[in-house]
Amino acid sequence: MDLPTLLELDQALVWHPFTQARTAPPATAIRSGRGAVLTDFQGRELLDLVSSWWVTLHGHGHPAIARAIGEQAARLEQVIFAGCTHEPAVALCQRLTGILPRELRRCFFSDNGSTAVEVALKMALQAGKNRGEPGRTRFLAFAGGYHGDTVGAMSAGVSSDFFGAWRELLFPVDVLPVADTWLGDGTVAAREAAALDRLDQHLDRHGARTSAAILEPLVQGACGMRMHRPEFLRGVVERLRARGVLVILDEVMTGFGRLGPLFGCLAAEVSPDFICLSKGLTGGALPMSLTVATEAVYQTFLDESIHKAFLHGHSFTANPLGCAAALASLDLLLDPACAAARARIERRHRTRLAPLVAASPGAARLRIQGTIAAFEVAAPDPAYGADGSARMQAWFLDRGLLLRPLGNTLYLLPPYCITDAQLDAAYAGIAEGLERHFSA
Ligand SMILES: *Cc1c(COP(=O)(O)O)cnc(C)c1O
């Protein structure tokens, strides 16, 4: 297909996600990807600085992952997962439970981050009933949390403000504040104490009726890469645990080394009742997700009655191709070279990006955690998707940099294979952008 035909058909037939088609520029048609580089239909190269919506770990077109998918496709591409099982799924559960906190044992497969969250919420509510605490029906979430776009995930992420059009569908969720460190104003400890105080008060009143709390550990992604300290997360988890409130960690974005360590819960030394994993699970090659629960939660579902079972499933549960991709991606992730690459990226952010942001009057509040770096830009309009961030995005795209600002938050979340030279090229583009277009 030639490019004009492709774009014409795209505009006529395709409904793109998170896009106002009336005002958005035509989509960029990508033909291929290799490592951190995407190539469009005109042969122009784009540096993928957002890991294609936070999913790509080891780069595009990784030969080991491609080979694993191809070999698996020739052997068994799909099979019903109720009553049947297969080696890629079992091997993946074995590998994953070997690197997650010890208590997380039982792996439930679904297809994306939102469904991983839905599954955790549904399991938590039912677990309360199964163990004779039917009064635990409330849910707790944290301000700024984003957990996906299905109805339960929207309810849990209600504070993110994306969901006005569907207010009538959402169930009520209690929302408490997070003590961000990124404000960088020297009041972190006081704000942490205040937020934990609010949590104590809330739990005094509603703890016994709360089923579960859900949060993104250490970095809240979609609300603008807001970061909090491990100390704060530990304080939250301790308090929830003391009241019998189940803890759901949404590591859809933070998992698989994104923050440096393999998982946010390991970085913060907390052990949840559920962890939700998706984006990086297959290295970004195929859609798949996991909700991993403790053995204690699982045991409450065992009974003579079918009604205590978890009656939930998806057509493509534990798709063998996804499992094969995930196993190949884990091999790459657990190679010491990958940890070294993640550490190198973080170092580069600190030594090259930090001085540049510090020197720019148009940028502030740089925060770095593992491979993620984010800062605020003095762009004209702070609203998500508003003109300012769209123009910023278009300007960078013209320079071969695929960035996707969240409102005024400009962030880099690159695949781990990105080279220092590629990072430096990105920083140089950002420096130019800040200087010429986005300073106050
Ligand atoms: C992206 C994301 C989700 C939703 O995942 P999808 O695969 O887009 O449904 C949930 N939680 C977090 C923290 C995310 O970043």
Verify that 16 and 160 share a domain, yes or no.
no
Question: Residue 381 pLDDT > 80, yes or no?
Answer: no
**The domain boundary residue, chosen from 277, 299, 333:** 333
Residue 374, Ramachandran bin (φ over 0: left; ψ between -120 and 50: alpha; else beta) = beta
3-state secondary structure of 303: coil
Q: How many CA atoms lie within 13 A of 185 on its CB side?
A: 7
Amino acid at 327: L
Per-residue pLDDT at 124: 98
Per-residue pLDDT at 329: 98
Per-residue pLDDT at 439: 54
Q: How far is the CA of 328 from the centre of ligand 1 (A)?
A: 22
DSSP element (H, E) containing 296:
helix 295-299
Q: Give residue 384's pLDDT band: very low, low, confident or very high (50, 70, 90).
A: very low
Q: Report the relative pairing of strands 289-294 and 274-277 from DSSP bridges.
A: antiparallel
Verify that 245 and 208 share a domain, yes or no.
yes
Verify that 131 and 226 share a domain, yes or no.
yes
Q: How far is the CA of 252 from the centre of ligand 1 (A)?
A: 6
**The domain boundary residue, chosen from 333, 348, 370:** 333
Using CB atoms within 10 Å of the CB of residue 301, give its burial: 0 to 12 exposed, 13 to 18 middle, 19+ buried.
Answer: middle
Q: Is the CB of 112 under 6 A from ligand 1?
A: yes
Q: Is the CB of 258 under 6 A from ligand 1?
A: no
Using CB atoms within 10 Å of the CB of residue 358, give its burial: 0 to 12 exposed, 13 to 18 middle, 19+ buried.
Answer: exposed
Mean pLDDT calculated for residue range 110-136 = 98
Evaluate whether 217 touches 134 at the Cβ level (below 8 Å). Answer: no
Instruction: Domain count for the chain, please give it.
Output: 2
Q: Is the CB of 114 under 6 A from ligand 1?
A: yes
Per-residue pLDDT at 438: 63
Q: How far is the CA of 186 from the centre of ligand 1 (A)?
A: 31
Query: What is the 3-state composition of the chain as percent helix, strand, coil, each rounded to the nearest 5?
Result: 45, 15, 40
What's the whole-model pTM score? 0.97
Residue 234's CATH number: 3.40.640.10
3-state secondary structure of 23: coil
Per-residue pLDDT at 181: 81
Q: Which atom of ligand 1 is nearest to the CA of 153?
A: 10
Q: How far apart are CA 119 and CA 318, in angstroms?
A: 14
Q: Report the relative pairing of strands 104-110 and 219-220 from DSSP bridges.
A: unpaired
3-state secondary structure of 418: coil
Q: Which atom of ligand 1 is nearest to the CA of 150?
A: 9
Per-residue pLDDT at 387: 66
Q: Report the relative pairing of strands 37-40 and 138-142 from DSSP bridges.
A: unpaired
Q: How far is the CA of 113 from the centre of ligand 1 (A)?
A: 4
pLDDT in tens, 127-146: 999 999 999 999 999 999 99
Token look-up 């938590």 returns 124
Q: How far apart are CA 340 and CA 350, in angstroms?
A: 15
pLDDT in tens, 56-101: 999 999 999 999 999 999 999 999 999 999 999 999 999 999 999 9
Looking at ligand 1, which residue's alpha carbon is closest to its atom 15?
A: 253
User: Which of 155-159, 221-225, 250-254 has the least mean pLDDT?
Assistant: 155-159
Q: Is the CB of 216 under 6 A from ligand 1?
A: yes
Q: What percent of the chain has pLDDT over 70?
A: 96
Question: Residue 162 pLDDT > 90, yes or no?
Answer: no
User: Which of 184-188, 217-221, 235-239, 356-360 has the least mean pLDDT?
Assistant: 184-188
The range of the structural domain enclosing residue 85 comes to 65-333
Mean pLDDT calculated for residue range 28-45 = 97
Locate 49 and state its tokens.
Answer: 């600085």
Per-residue pLDDT at 82: 97
Q: How far apart are CA 432 and CA 426, in angstroms?
A: 10
Q: How many CA atoms lie within 13 A of 269 on its CB side?
A: 3
Verify that 326 and 428 share a domain, yes or no.
no
Verify that 347 and 279 share a domain, yes or no.
no
Residue 410's CATH number: 3.90.1150.10
Q: Is the CB of 252 under 6 A from ligand 1?
A: yes
DSSP string, 251-292: -TTTTTTTTSSS-HHHHHT---SEEEE-TTTTTTSS--EEEE
Verify that 115 and 87 share a domain, yes or no.
yes
Evaluate whether 49 touches 414 at the Cβ level (below 8 Å). Answer: yes
Verify that 10 and 134 share a domain, yes or no.
no
Q: Is the CB of 147 under 6 A from ligand 1?
A: yes
Per-residue pLDDT at 392: 84
Verify that 292 and 309 share a domain, yes or no.
yes
Full 3-state SS string of 55-99: CCCCCECCHHHHHHHHHHHHHCCCCCCCCCCCHHHHHHHHHHHHH
Question: Residue 366 pLDDT > 60, yes or no?
Answer: yes
Verify that 96 and 48 share a domain, yes or no.
no
Q: How many residues does the chain have?
A: 440
Q: Ligand 1, from 18, 50, 147, 251: best to mutate by most atoms within 8 Å of Cβ?
A: 147
Verify that 265 and 383 share a domain, yes or no.
no
Verify that 87 and 121 share a domain, yes or no.
yes
Which position has the higher pLDDT, 72 or 161? 72
Verify that 212 and 325 share a domain, yes or no.
yes
**The domain boundary residue, chosen from 318, 333, 348:** 333
